[in-house]
Amino acid sequence: MGKRLVPVRSKEGIYRRGKISMYFLYLLLSIALVISFIADRTKTYRAIKIAFKKFTKILPAFAEMLVLVSIILGLVPDSLIVHYLGKSNMFQGVLMASFFGSITLMPGFIAFPLCGILLKKGITYTVISAFTTTLMMVGFVTFPIEKSYFGGKVTVMRNVLSLFIALIVAVMTGIFFGEILP
């Protein structure tokens, strides 16, 4: 039997496609804004004003988190990050990323740029997938609040199931990008 061929996906190609996708989204947003402006100027102005106010409220927290993450990434050597989260220790990297993702409370607009930085440092898609999926789905920090609303049993079940699903997503990501099965 012959070897199974897996398409090679270069990081540069993925970045280029991502950039093109963002330009397409910006174009789509601009068109929708023009259509909204034509349909009802006052509602559009009001919506832009509300969005700007919300953005200015989020900006300080965003800047603070960005600075904090940048300082941490600046202090921790790249070789240490790659050693623990890189391709040589995939299993350990997925477990560590899942752990940190589960205990960290970070909004997506901070997490995704951080993942882009980690990707450029050589961290695999599998590890990044484990981190972001657990970050968004597993809530160790929010456990007490969730427990007060849903009860302890439901909260534990939801978090365990979310962790299990996050690990499946990480494995599937690794298979898709050819990091787990060559």
Give the Cα-Cα-Cα angle 62, 66, 69 (nearest 5 degrees): 140
Mean pLDDT throughout 96-116?
A: 86
Q: 152 pLDDT band (50/70/90 cuts)?
A: very high
Task: Please report the pLDDT score of residue 65 as a whole number.
Answer: 76
At 41-63, the pLDDT tens digits run 999 999 999 999 998 988 887 78
CA dihedral 165→166→168→169, nearest 10 degrees, is 120
Of 54, 163, 173, 66, the closest CA to residue 109 belongs to 66
* Separation between Cα atoms, residue 95 and residue 102, nearest integer Å: 10
Q: Estimate to the nearest angstrom the gap between the alpha carbon of 80 and the chain centroid.
A: 21
Model-wide pTM > 0.85: no
Task: Please report the pLDDT score of residue 47 as a whole number.
Answer: 94
Task: Please report the pLDDT score of residue 156 as a whole number.
Answer: 94
Alpha-carbon distances of 126 from 26, 40, 123, 153, 163, rounded to whole Å: 28, 45, 8, 30, 15
